[in-house]
């Protein structure tokens, strides 16, 4: 027999479904963490949530809602502990808006910056929200390992001390240390020693 060259008639009209996805939008800025008890990202251990909120949720959540993004991804140059504040100039961060249906502009970002700060109950502040490129991710990774950081803490000691006892700490300069992986992050980081440097130390009595 002779093979049919044309396909059989379709029982119903053909349907074509297309989905359009916008390129990821990157927004950078700096955040200050003004309150303790706040994790940087949502944190659970053995199914138990640690902390009521996180910096990521207080920053990326409103941005996702404002610009109708399907999802977000939060990145920063390092992180601080849950019970530690982040002051000074703040920590650099970037948020990826995945398939945002509304494109941010300078005015919208300024309005959203004010909204985030007013809704955070003085727990965090964000500054300098601006559009950036994907290269910001690499800048954050470099900053995590290369930037000098300043820490302030209160120390209690078991025995009485006097101001001269602290002189040895005031003389610290470029002290090399070996830091073991903290127990609190062993669930997500390898157990190993990491080289650290204390550039200077200043004590108040």
The catalytic residues are 81
In degrees rounded to 5, what are phi and psi of residue 109? -70, -40
Q: Is 79 exposed, middle or buried (0-12, 13-18, 19+ CB in 10 A)?
A: middle
**Biggest CA pair distance of the chain:** 108
Q: Is 40 exposed, middle or buried (0-12, 13-18, 19+ CB in 10 A)?
A: buried
**DSSP-assigned letters across all residues of 44-85:** EETTEEESS-BHHHHHHHHHHHHTT-SEEEEEESS---TT--
Residue 147's Cβ-side half-sphere holds a number of Cα atoms within 13 Å equal to: 17
Q: Which of 94, 43, 104 shows the shortest CA–CA distance to 69?
A: 104
Q: Which of 137, 114, 6 shows the shortest CA–CA distance to 62?
A: 114
How many other C-beta atoms lie within 10 A of the C-beta of residue 204? 7
Beta-bridge mates of residue 9: none
């Amino acid at each position: 027999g002779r093979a049919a060259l044309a396909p059989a008639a379709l029982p119903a009209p053909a349907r074509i479904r297309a989905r359009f996805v916008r390129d990821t939008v990157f927004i950078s800025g700096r955040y200050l963490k003004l309150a303790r008890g706040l994790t940087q990202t949502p944190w659970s251990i053995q199914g138990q949530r640690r902390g009521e909120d996180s910096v990521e949720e207080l920053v990326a959540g409103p941005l996702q809602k404002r610009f109708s993004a399907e999802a977000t991804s939060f990145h920063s140059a390092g992180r601080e502990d849950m019970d530690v504040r982040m002051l000074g100039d703040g920590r650099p961060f970037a948020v990826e808006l995945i398939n945002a249906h509304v494109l941010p502009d300078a005015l919208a970002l300024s309005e959203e910056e004010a909204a985030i700060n007013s809704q955070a109950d003085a727990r965090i502040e964000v500054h300098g929200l601006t559009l950036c490129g994907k290269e910001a991710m690499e800048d954050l990774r470099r900053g995590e390992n290369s930037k000098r950081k300043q820490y302030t803490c209160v120390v209690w000691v078991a025995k009485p001390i006097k101001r001269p006892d602290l002189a040895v700490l005031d003389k610290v300069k470029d002290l090399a240390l070996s830091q073991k992986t903290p127990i609190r992050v062993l669930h997500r980081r390898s157990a190993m020693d990491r080289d650290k440097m204390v550039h200077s130390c200043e004590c108040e009595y």
